[in-house]
């Protein structure tokens, strides 16, 4: 077998393991494209939900394309990315629809377009090339860096927008007229054409489209063979760093358990309840108990410590949970109060005790360091509290450096600095003395994420330059400098709207 045949055979074999793949023949061919590998993309409920909407649209068919696991091998074999369904090359689609979850997936967009032999820059493509669009979670905060590469941004919840867009594509007489029309429609951003006033508008899907759920179940994801469904969308809380907070899209929308239950296929042995704040659903215990009492396993994407009860945790345990994961998102009570994260040590201790009582074996706690005004004393508090938790159950402490996102109250807060974050992580590691496992996110890559989260289209051009120069951290640093990338925090001092110095920054500095 040639190397090309081996790579295509790998695709065929994972497709053969899928249940529920959607197949359709239609004039308008849409590549639902995920800029990360299959096992990540197929864990994304939003990606699958929009693929399903395209499939339901008259005259349009969706096929899925993922970033190859080994991009270099595909490049060496001169093989274009192809769809899972028909092995159709990416460049042969009418529309390439990227779903982008977070900033660092930009490089996956570049790799896919390059492998397909398509110009990466929007301005270098013509009407003869596929229309390239992008949507996904990144559009809730700052999709500006995508502008140089896509023809249209689909901003916010896309269940209705995708139908509008496909109608427009089907009715368009030319690419030019299509872009002119979309530029005037709320929810679409056409780079260089849409009004500045509509730049950050994010659409809200109609209630009839909810709940999102997966059509395809596969063993080849982290959520192995799990049917995913969204019993609630959004969040009614107001954590200051979060793009999902209540103001983003009107707060939380819930789906009655009866509706969720009737949509779970009889064949689903494992069910994942997905959403920003699943345990805030007012009938979550009833829903969980009904699922596990039917003999199914269950997973929940977001547990809030202040919502946990013994019944709820016992239902999770009965549904197969071996560990319990909650977010603390502030190293000290002072920091949690600063970011309006309404969690106390008492609530998190209670969660640990409930987990132990229910027979759960380990805890995972997510936390953040590098918040504005943070000092070593806040980190000491985190160490002391983590050690206290570790006396109840084994603890894994996930720590991410804080990177301010656009369109949140902490937008404009500076990045703490790479060396400062590394010093915080060293302080935690030393304090824990191996009694709890520390799982840190790289300070360097958090800074890259921060720059992309805070910069405009020039941040995207820098990302492309860094990618072409090998993608190492030094290449990113050079590219941000060469493209004159200035974080929004600093630009606001120029705008005169809010000065960076208004953020108290004891011990903090931008990198
Ligand atoms: S961090 Fe979680 S609880 Fe807070 S607003 Fe965001 S989704 Fe809601």
Domains of the chain, by residue range, sit at 3-198, 226-320, 322-511
Residue 500 pLDDT greater than 60, yes or no: no
DSSP states of 253-320: EE--HHHHHHHS-TT-SEEEE-STTGGGSTTHHHHHHHHHHTT-EEEES---GGG--HHHHHHHHHTT
358-395 pLDDT, tens digit per residue, is: 999 999 999 999 999 899 999 999 999 999 999 999 99
Q: How far is the CA of 240 from the centre of ligand 1 (A)?
A: 9
Instruction: Please tell me the distance between residue 174's alpha carbon and the centre of ligand 1 in angstroms.
Output: 43
User: Does residue 494 have a pLDDT over 50?
Assistant: no
For residue 237 and ligand 1, the question of a CB distance below 6 A is answered with yes
| Per-residue pLDDT at 296 exceeds 80 | yes
**Separation CA 118–CA 95 (nearest Å):** 13
Nearest CA to ligand 1 atom 5: 245
Q: What is the pLDDT of residue 110?
A: 98
Atom nearest to 246 CA in ligand 1: 5
Residue 90 has φ and ψ, to the nearest 5°, of -55, -40
CATH architecture of 322-511: 2-Layer Sandwich (3.30)
Residue 156 β-bridge partners: 203
| Domain covering 3-198, topology | Rossmann fold (3.40.50)
- CB neighbour list of residue 449: distance below 8 Å, 6 or more residues apart: 102, 103, 104, 403
Residue nearest ligand 1's atom 4 by CA? 239
Q: Around Cβ 156, how many Cβ atoms within 10 Å?
A: 23
Q: Judge whether residue 75 has pLDDT over 50.
A: yes
What distance in angstroms lies between residue 245's CA and the mean position of ligand 1's atoms? 6
Q: Which residue among 234, 236, 237, 368 is best mutated to probe the pocket of ligand 1, counting the most ligand atoms within 8 A of its Cβ?
A: 237
How much is the average pLDDT of 423-437?
97
Show the tokens assigned to 24: 């359709």
Say yes or no: CB of residue 244 within 6 Å of ligand 1: yes
pTM: 0.94
Pick the CATH number of 226-320 from 3.30.750.210, 3.30.420.40, 3.40.250.10, 3.40.50.300: 3.30.750.210
Q: Do domains 226-320 and 322-511 have the same CATH topology?
A: yes
> If pLDDT is split at 50, 70 and 90, which confidence band does 510 have?
very low
Q: Is the pLDDT of residue 403 over 90?
A: yes
Give the distance (Å) from ligand 1 centre to CA of residue 47: 21
């Amino acid at each position: 077998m040639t190397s090309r045949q081996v790579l295509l055979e790998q695709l065929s074999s994972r497709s053969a393991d899928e249940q529920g793949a959607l197949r359709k023949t239609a004039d308008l061919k849409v590549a639902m494209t995920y800029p990360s590998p299959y096992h990540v993309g197929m864990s994304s409920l939003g990606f699958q939900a929009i693929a399903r909407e395209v499939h339901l649209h008259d005259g349009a068919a969706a096929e899925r394309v993922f970033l190859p696991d080994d991009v270099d091998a595909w490049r060496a074999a001169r093989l274009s990315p192809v769809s899972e369904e028909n092995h159709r090359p990416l460049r042969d689609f009418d529309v390439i629809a990227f779903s982008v979850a977070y900033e660092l997936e930009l490089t996956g967009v570049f790799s896919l377009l390059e492998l397909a032999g398509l110009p990466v820059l929007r301005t270098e493509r013509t009407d003869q090339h596929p229309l390239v669009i992008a949507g996904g979670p990144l559009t809730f905060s700052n999709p500006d860096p995508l502008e140089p590469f896509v023809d249209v941004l689909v901003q916010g919840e896309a269940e209705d927008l995708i139908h509008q867009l496909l109608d427009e594509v089907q009715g368009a007489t030319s690419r030019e007229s299509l872009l002119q029309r979309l530029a005037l429609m709320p929810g679409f951003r056409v780079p260089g054409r849409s009004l500045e006033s509509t730049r950050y508008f994010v659409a809200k899907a109609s209630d009839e489209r909810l709940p999102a759920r997966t059509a395809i179940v596969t063993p080849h994801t982290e959520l192995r063979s799990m049917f995913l469904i969204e019993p609630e969308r959004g969040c009614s809380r107001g954590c200051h760093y979060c793009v999902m907070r209540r103001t983003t899209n009107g707060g939380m929308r819930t789906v009655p358990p009866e509706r969720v239950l009737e949509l779970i296929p009889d064949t689903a042995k494992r069910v994942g309840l997905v959403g920003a704040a699943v345990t805030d659903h007012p009938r979550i215990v009833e829903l969980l108990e009904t699922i596990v009492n039917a003999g199914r396993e269950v997973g929940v994407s977001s547990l809030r410590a202040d919502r946990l009860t013994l019944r709820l945790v016992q239902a999770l345990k009965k549904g197969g949970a071996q560990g319990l994961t909650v977010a603390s998102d502030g190293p000290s009570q002072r920091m949690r109060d600063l970011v309006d994260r309404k969690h106390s040590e008492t609530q998190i201790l209670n969660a640990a005790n409930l987990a132990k009582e229910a027979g759960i074996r380990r805890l995972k706690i997510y936390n953040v360091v590098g918040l504005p005004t943070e000092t070593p004393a806040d980190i000491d508090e985190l160490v002391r509290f983590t050690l206290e938790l570790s006396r109840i159950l084994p603890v894994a402490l996930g720590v991410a450096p804080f990177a301010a996102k656009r369109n949140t109250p902490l937008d404009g807060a500076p990045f703490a600095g790479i060396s400062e974050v590394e010093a915080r992580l060293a302080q935690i590691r030393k304090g824990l003395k191996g009694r709890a496992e520390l799982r840190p996110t790289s300070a360097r890559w958090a800074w890259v994420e921060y720059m992309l989260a805070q910069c405009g289209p020039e941040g995207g051009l820098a990302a492309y330059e860094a990618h072409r120069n090998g993608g190492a951290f030094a290449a990113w640093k050079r590219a941000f400098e060469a493209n004159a990338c200035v974080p929004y925090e600093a630009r606001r001092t120029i705008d005169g709207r809010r000065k960076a110095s208004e953020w108290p920054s004891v011990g903090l500095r931008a990198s």
